[in-house]
Structure 1
Amino acid sequence: MRKQIRKYELSGREPLTHAGFIDGAFVAGNGGAFDVLDPSDESHVAQVIGLSPDQVESAIAAARRAFDSGAWSGLTMQERGAAMMRFADSMAARADRLKELAVREAGCPVSSTVMGAQVASPLRMAREIVDLFLRLPEVEDNPLPLHERVNAHFAVQSVTRWSPIGVVTAISAYNVPFYTALWKVVPALMAGNTVILRPNPLTPLSSLVFAEAAEEAGLPKGVFNLVIEQGVDGAQALTSDPRVDMVSFTGSSTVGVEVAKQAATTLKRLVLELGGKSAQIYLPDSVDRAAMAAMSVCTSHAGQGCVLGTRVFVPQESKAEVLEAMAKLLSGVKIGPARDPASQLGPVISAGQRARCEHFVAAAVAGGGRVVCGGKRPEGLEKGYFFEPTVLDLPDNTNPAAQEEIFGPVVSVIGYRDLDHAVEMANDSRFGLSGWIHGKDKVKALEVGRKIRSGTVNVNGALMSSHASSGGIKMSGLGRERGVEGLREFQIMTTLNIGG
């Protein structure tokens, strides 16, 4: 019989009774206390007493013991798959809870299309990950030519064997916290690894769902562990401890660099999904579509998405009409609390993130740019971390607003002379996470898309699928998530040669 689903009452006044899940048990934190705030009105969602460094050390030790015991890694893929389907069912039973938390701790508008990425998509993908793994071969023949397989001295068979990597640290982001955590936790577990999840302190509450699911699904002790903390001491231990074999991190490029440095001393496997400054190129035959770029970016969780196309390139001669159309579209956007179904644009995550938006608007103007619309805090919303949907008219791609990730409802529009010029500017970035090409001439659009240097390029369409991987180049990261390539990241590839 399944255990009863826990109900957590988050009054905002009483601390959570636990802030971790270690070695199969929920634990109360012994570390620093911090508040989880609702970015829509700055009210308290919960008070959390985080885990101490000693408790983080206990989580690492538990994960190491659990992996080395073989209680999980020694199971067949089918046996793990059965347990992970129970795990997925337990998470799905908490869909309403996850939606509530996406609104309250992450500030995602309840009516936003991004709500699908917050809850429905990851819940669906949890089961798809299991199915994908069950279809993957654990042993594959290496394509040796016949003269290497058989010679005068012996015959040899060469195969590739896929096996678990060990202890995995999973560090998730604040914008879509459940989604970014799930694409670390579920494939890592399904591969046979043990996991320590460390959520972002701004949005830690949805991570409790993983712990509840691990308990209900009957995962062996220490296979899944959860660490919620106030600062970064635990995260640094999780990325540097020699007992950890792999780190999967989603977050800013700045922090990603530090994670890579910490992991370097023990040469851990790294998957880093970092920042982006994605370009959208509108071919001359599709200028009429460009105005919607500002609407889609700004109303997608207040622009808090690393793959969003925040640099919009249009023909120079059409730039004025595009800017005018963008301003007209955004003038009617309803800004308000995430819980209000009428809100199209909710808050950014924190006061610091709102200040970052203000900083880059000012930097854009100082660099020769112009604020077409927005650029400040909206009137009438004294509480909450709101920022107006903003369109910047930039003279060129060297402007600070074109070069740095802002992570807010801010779109930069830049004119190009010809398509070669557009491609040159699109690739003139230290990031390379995603790219967008729009053109009614599909052949020409594809031709342009093939010239973009980015981990993902979307030509007249995009998708978010378990079956297609994504990942960044340059300062946008290392490795892949999703797809077969993303699953294999959590495994060791061994070449096994057998002679006779």
Structure 2
Amino acid sequence: MSANAVSAHAELMTTAMFINGKAENGTGLPVTVFNPSTGEVAANFPGATLDQFKAAIASARKAADQGEWAAMKPADRVAILRRFIAYLHEQNEAVNSLIVMETGAPVSGFVLQAQVSGPLQQMESMLDLYMKLPEIEDNPLPLEERINSFGGFVQSIRHYVPVGVVAAISAYNFPLHISLWKVLTALATGNCVVLRPSPLTPLSTLALSKAAAAAGLPAGVLHILAEAGPEGAQLLTTDPAVDMVSFTGSTGVGSVVAGQAAPSMKRLQLELGGKSAQIFLPDRVEAAYTAAIGVCLAHAGQGCVLGTRIFVPEAEKEKVLAGMMQTMAYAKIGDSTAPDTTMGPVISEAQVERCAHFVKLAVEAGATVVTGGKRADRPGFYFEPTILDAPDNKNPAAQEEIFGPVVVVIGYRDIDHAIEMANDSPLGLSGHVHGKDARQALDVAKRLRTGTVNINTFMGSAYASSGGVKMSGVGRERGVEGIRAFQEVKVLNLGSAS
């Protein structure tokens, strides 16, 4: 990390809450942020109190009810948000250093790009897409229904309006990326937002307050509060003044959020856990050799859409495992600031223990550790890239989201067997099909019960939505559906006065 980056890092970093357009120090329990590369404390500061969360919600509610932000022309709101994005582009080196410090994403490689520059570009595209969407649409009434009983002409239209106050609760693995998708999409559509980042990685999110100030975002439209515990998040999901909750995190916590939001009938957008399958068809088995290293180098396996269940033809499994072992030579575990590091740490000591726990359960259930399987012998929160050879899809490593550099390889008898095992999961966030025969690959993809299927590719575009089925969530993010999620449909039936 350069001296300039360190200097810019210090200038950008803030530990203050952002309430009603002003920086305000927290007065609650301390939030302790660890640098996962070293295991040392990176920051310690007072978090927000419940009263500060109440103040933020009240401010957002007042701004939403006054309606000045929502009443602005969409182009004027978008212009402010483009300045917001431009500020982050200008602070790119400092933002990168914050992300590297608090998430452990390696300074070199595609993970950091997915953390910062990628989402900033996607935000520009999202605003472009939003500006192309109509504010009103005609309901397709039959011609005979366009004349009322009095002989006059009538029209019925759908008017897209803001939901109101949005509570955005973000996850730790891609804190800036996830927060930007929630905040900027909600703001573009005219909502007011209260953002609560993960206590594990709040620093890059708190820094968004400086982007808001630089962009000239009106007071009361965006609030950002970090906390050590769950009390503020619970208030955001229960307070009747909040109209919608957008949450990214585990399925267990997402179920709690849904229950807490139910009494006040809040709109929900939940992106939850995944246990995605990668099916390698017989004509593309050789592509499976890089499947394990691909997962492990993708932020040490800390991604909900990663294909951690790898299905290959039973007769080819031994050859695939041998090929996977060879590709593991590309995994260079090390400090995230080192330019030659290809795989950094997991986020915390608890996550190291979780990886070890599920490897132990997998072995007890009949799996074999092909490589890895234990904590890396170095300071910080590191777990070795791990390949497990499992006899079937019932193995705990195939059923539970581990969220670390651990993959499980399972053999299938035929295509029907592969699809059956891929669908044998309570989760359904994403999936992958690899095959040279495009028709066969498409046929397999159509039979998978998951919100997204990638066929011989991976896509992260502002124009293509993603979201889960089953226990992987409710609603969609990105794309037209992800924008419309932050809008209500108001039907206006128009007739001329007699």
Shorter-chain TM band: over 0.9
Specify the SS of the correspondent of 1:187: helix
113-122 vs 428-437, which moves further: 113-122
Q: Which residue of 1 aligns with 2:275?
A: 277
Aligned to 1:186: 184
After superposition, the Cα gap between the structure-2 partners of 1:17 and 1:456, relative to the gap in structure 1 and judged at 3 Å, is closer
Distance 1:438 1:18 in 2: 45
Query: Residues of 2 paired with 1:255 and 1:146: CA distance?
Result: 49
User: Within the alignment, does 1:124 sit opposite 2:121 as a pair?
Assistant: yes
Q: Find the counterpart in structure 1 of residue 449 from structure 2.
A: 453
- Paired with 1:7 and 1:59, the residues of 2 have a C-alpha distance of 29
Q: Is the 8 A contact 1:71 1:220 kept in 2?
A: no
| Corresponding residue of 1:33 | 30
Distance of 2:185 and 2:413 partners within structure 1? 45
Per the normalisation by structure 1, the TM-score is 0.96
Query: Residues 253, 26 of structure 1: CA spacing in aligned structure 2 closer, same or farther, 3 A cutoff?
Result: same
Cα deviation for residue 463 of structure 1 reads 0.9
The match for 1:322 is 320
Shift of 1:126: 2.1
Match of 2:470 in 1: 474
Moved over 4 A (4+): none
C-alpha displacement of 1:217? 1.4
1:357 aligns to 2:358 (yes or no): no
Choose from 57, 78, 83 the match for 2:80: 83
Residue of structure 2 equivalent to 1:431? 427
CA displacement at 1:102 relative to structure 2:
1.6
2:427 match: secondary structure: coil
Structure 2 Cα separation of the partners of residues 320 and 409 of structure 1: 21
Assess if the C-alpha contact under 8 Å between 2:9 and 2:94 holds in 1: no
Note closer, same or farther for the CA distance 1:7–1:285 as it changes in structure 2 (3 Å cut). closer
The aligned residue for residue 10 of structure 2 is 9
CA contact (8 A) 2:14 2:203 kept: no
Residue aligning to 2:3: none
Given candidates 74, 91, 95, the residue that maps to 2:92 is 95
How far, CA to CA, are the matches of 2:18 and 2:363 in structure 1? 48
Amino acid at match of 1:118: Q
- Do residues 397 (structure 1) and 393 (structure 2) align? yes
> Deviations for 1:278-337, whole angstroms, at most 9, x for unmatched residues?
000000111111110001001110000000000000000011111111122214521111
1:216 to partner: Cα distance: 1.4
Q: CA shift at 1:96, angstroms?
A: 1.1
- The CA deviation at 1:97 is 1.5
Greater helix share, structure number: 2
Letter of the 1:491 partner, please give it. Answer: Q
Correspondent of 1:229 among 224, 227, 233: 227
Q: Does 1:311 align with 2:312?
A: no
- Match for residue 211 of structure 2? 213
Query: Structure 2: any 5+ residue segments left out of the alignment?
Result: 1-6
Contact 1:356 1:406 in 2 (8 A): yes
d(CA) in 1 for partners of 2:426, 2:193? 31
Q: Which residue type is aligned with residue 53 of structure 1? A: L
Deviation sequence 1:129-186 (CA, Å, 0-9, x none):
2221111100111111101112442321010000111000111111110000000000
Matched, 1:287 2:310: no
State the number of aligned residues.
489
Q: Distance in 2 between matches of 1:388 and 1:17?
A: 33
Aligned counterpart, 1:497:
493
CA distance in 1, matches of 2:128, 2:330: 44
Q: Determine the C-alpha separation between the residues in 1 that align with 2:492 and 2:148.
A: 18
In structure 2, the partner of 1:3 is none
- The 1:39–1:178 alpha-carbon spacing in structure 2 relative to 1, beyond 3 Å, is same
Partner of 2:40: 43
TM-score normalized by the length of structure 2? 0.96
Q: Tell me how far 1:95 sits from its aligned partner.
A: 1.2
Measured in 2, the distance between the counterparts of 1:92 and 1:208 equals: 16
For residues 89 and 266 of structure 2, the distance between their equivalents in structure 1, rounded to whole angstroms, comes to 32
| Structure 1: gaps spanning 5 or more residues | 1-5
Give, in whole Å, the separation in 1 of the partners of 2:355 and 2:109.
Answer: 21
**Which one is further off, 61-70 or 299-308?**
61-70
For residues 253 and 94 of structure 1, what CA distance do their matches in structure 2 show?
34
SS in 2 for 1:325: helix
Preserved CA contact (<8 Å) 2:330 2:342: no
Q: Distance in 1 between matches of 2:9 and 2:58?
A: 28
1:66 CA drift (Å): 1.0
Taking the aligned partners of 1:279 and 1:159, their CA distance within structure 2 comes to: 42
Q: Cα gap change, 1:50/1:8 in structure 2, threshold over 3 Å: closer, same or farther?
A: farther
Identity %: 54
Whether 2:300 is the aligned partner of 1:302: answer yes
Q: For 1:194-205, list aligned pairs within 5 A.
A: 194-205=192-203
SS, match of residue 72 in structure 1? helix
Instruction: Look up the match of 1:419.
Output: 415
Deviation readout 1:36-92 (Å, 9 max, x if unpaired): 110010122211210111111100011111111122111111221121111121222
Structure 2 residue identity aligned to 1:19: A
Instruction: Answer whether contact 2:14 2:207 (CA < 8 A) is retained.
Output: no
What is the one-letter code of the residue matched to 1:267?
M
Q: Please, which of 336, 339, 352 is the counterpart of residue 338 of structure 1?
A: 336
Q: Matches of 2:327 and 2:83 in 1, distance apart?
A: 46
Residues 460-481 of structure 1: CA distance to partner in whole angstroms, max 9, x if unpaired?
1111000000000011100000
The whole-number CA distance in structure 2 between the counterparts of 1:8 and 1:107 is 15
Given residue 142 of structure 1, which amino acid in structure 2 is its aligned partner?
N
Corresponding residue SS for 1:248: strand
Q: Is the 2:14–2:206 contact (alpha carbons within 8 Å) kept by the matching residues of 1?
A: no
Q: Secondary structure at the match of 2:198?
A: coil
